[in-house]
Structure 1
């Protein structure tokens, strides 16, 4: 069903950007039906009569199976803070999934056509109001949204698939609502359940350093190019096309691409075309600077910057009163890796997916959110994202692809977590980087599906 378009009342009007009726119209492409849904769901599931937000999801099913009694498969996107893919059902994991499932592509709260979080939509809130509001956009709330939709559809059980942060959401789902799940597919998204964010970053900085070394070994001239770009930024006031002062720290963040398959060569091509000569002087080209701005997804999807460290804020001791704040963990841990703090004449290193407090001082669209970000970083009482006791008695078949050289999700921690969860099976491979599902999704999905079939037989 398609929920009707309507105006929202009082505070909901301030929070919800009403979706255009045209976007709730279904369409067909190459034998596949795409059916949009919109739901009014409580911002705080503990206060069902309180403020509401809108959640958008797209149902995808093959026309020749449209009226069949297919099981549902819900997709949880990586991030946090990014919408579900606007995918072509003729390729990748979606093509494989549609052979047996009715797929629901969920725009997680705050993303896509769900009530969005941007510097614009938060502009009318005070810093404290932003802080109070943003606390409701972690995996626990995302999973409760999915449960709300499941009940709305009157579905007894459905399957889930999670990529990266979507896998974190999947383990939250397995922790608190296992009775609602048929099976779980996870790719590159098995988190550490027992350690502080500091421990996560101690491992990922080492992995990022390894990725840097591999990149510069493949492209030896890239080290010289990076030093030249960094020195230029240190000695000149360079602005991005949005007027923002472009710094060495910002340049380093494009290293997030080093953890993705097929990214090294395009990254090198970008570096070698950085300079253009103007009036006899080398200058960073407009094309390069535009590309650098495009790399800053934090500007358009601020949830990532605001809540990224909070995905590791899990009370991991038996004492539930233990403080869970991240306190800018990546920034603090970085001080133990001085090689990432570039100075002219030293070796250059890119950083990874880490988030830093300086981003809210330098990046134009994050500046208005600086106070809220600080409050979130210091929040001492995040609720639990996982139930270790429930996971230790897991009965839901779980198959995952874990990438041995994953730059974002440390392989050793994933392996430790999986050892705690019965009825789980891992395909441990160095064939792919973290974005394997996007590179070779059809093969990965089919491999995990075969593993799940075997698990189901063993459980029976």
Structure 2
């Protein structure tokens, strides 16, 4: 748990390093390698779902506040946690504030990727329209990576499929510009990938300190509807526009792929455990579809209408199931609106749970 900090002139937040991240302590590749047995590691990773994180948060709330309910503030996966909290322990909550969500309460991993793949495609096309020279550069890079064994710092090969995982940047407010400036220095004077570019790509696409999101990303949607399998892989395989030979070369979004745990050093110790998790079908539900509608805990949420990472349709459907929800869909902010708005999004959420708007 990190120190409290002011979020508005009258609100304070106590940020949590959820299980396996930050100082909680982190589950790193080195820690995973110590398990030796993939089945033991997979069983261990089963304790890092949203229900376990909510149990931790509730324990801390009771320790700090006794029986006094408190507010939650969740961005992206934090919004998923808020809905699990509301389902499991509503008595501990006074109000919920969600940015970049909430999730589809009954959505499977296949449902999520079926909706987000077209959004990723459209965002890539919008990027190419804004920076047409970068579309040419991405294809040039892809051809170069196919023809040569290009290595990242640390030894991983930079294949075309890893290059394409730069796509999540396009879901942020300043993502187009950040990706453009990254590509602007991609090639050196000799026509080969520059050292600066390779270092940045390694940092952006190779989880070292926090690999859990890549390992558990699809497990976030697993709740008793069968195994998640490799939903992102299936979704992309069924869309010819995402083929590496297609034009323009499309980047991929917030997705995990089977090859990642074999080709990215920070994920290799998780490889066999990740496959076991993908086939697990006995995960209990994360959300109570009856309880949220019956509760009176106010929930305010901002949903990005054209967001690439969380489907607005699923978020709005979740809002209809929650009796005290106040949800605003907007195209003014991207997925990172909570942090990028300098407090304006948070202030709006607080006003909504207070009943002023």
Normalising by structure 2, we get a TM-score of: 0.96
Cα distance in 1 for partners of 2:276, 2:13 equals 37
Does residue 296 in structure 1 map to residue 296 in structure 2? no
> In the alignment, which residue of structure 2 is the partner of 1:439?
340
Which 4+ stretches in 1 moved above 6 angstroms? none
- The residue number in structure 1 matching 2:296 is 395
Change (3 A) 1:297 1:422: farther
Deviation, structure 1 residue 357: 0.7
Q: Residues 143 and 169 of structure 1 are in contact (CA less than 8 Å); yes or no, is this contact kept in structure 2?
A: yes
Tell me, yes or no, if structure 1 residue 336 matches structure 2 residue 253: no
Contact 1:252 1:350 in 2 (8 A): yes
Residues 403 and 430 in structure 1, CA contact (< 8 A), matched pair in contact too: yes
Equivalence map 1:67-106=2 (5 Å): 94=7, 96=8, 99-106=9-16
- Contact 1:191/1:413, CA 8 A, preserved across alignment: yes
Cα distance in 2 for residues equivalent to 1:341 and 1:368: 28
In 2: Cα distance, 1:155 partner to 1:339 partner: 54
Query: Which residue in the other structure is 1:378 paired with?
Result: 279
Residues 13-24 of structure 1: pairs in structure 2 closer than 5 A: none
2:138 corresponds, among 226, 230, 249, to 226
How many residues align? The count is 355
SS at match of 1:277: coil
Determine the structure 1 residue equivalent to 2:46: 135
Task: Tell me which moved more, 200-209 or 267-276.
Answer: 267-276
* Inter-CA distance 297–439: structure 2 relative to 1 (3 Å threshold): farther
Match of 2:326 in 1: 425
The reply to whether residue 151 of structure 1 matches residue 151 of structure 2 is: no
Aligned counterpart for 1:368 among listed residues 266, 269, 290: 269
Structure 1 unmatched runs, 5+: 1-56, 62-88, 316-322
Residue number among 99, 103, 123 corresponding to 1:191 in the alignment:
103
For residues 3-402 of structure 1, the aligned pairs below 5 Å read: 57-60=1-4, 94=7, 96=8, 99-125=9-35, 126-156=37-67, 157-278=69-190, 282-315=191-224, 323-343=225-245, 346-402=247-303
Contact 2:223 2:282 in 1 (8 A): no
Q: Which has the higher contact order (CA 8 A, sep 6+)?
A: 2
Paired residues of 1:59 and 1:102 also in contact (CA < 8 A):
no
Distance 1:406 1:212 in 2: 13
Deviations 1:93-113 (A, max 9, x none): x2x1xx323421111010101
Structure that is richer in strand per residue: 1
- How far the C-alpha of 1:152 sits from its partner, in A, is 1.9
Distance change >3 Å, CA 239–CA 297, structure 1 → 2: closer
Q: CA deviation at 1:346?
A: 3.4
Aligned-partner Cα distance in 2 for 1:440–1:369: 36
In structure 1, C-alpha distance between the alignment counterparts of 2:92 and 2:209, rounded to whole Å: 34
SS in 1 for 2:341: helix
- Partners of 2:12 and 2:138 lie apart in 1 by 47
Name the CA distance, whole Å, in 2 between partners of 1:392 and 1:422: 4
- Cα deviation code 1:358-385 (max 9, x no counterpart): 0011101211210000001111111111
| Distance in structure 2 (CA, Å) of the matches to 1:213 and 1:333 | 18
1:393–1:421 contact (8 Å) kept in structure 2: yes
Higher share in helix: 2
Is residue 299–residue 363 contact of structure 1 (8 Å, CA) maintained in 2? no
Q: Which structure 2 residue ranges, 5 or more long, are not aligned?
A: none
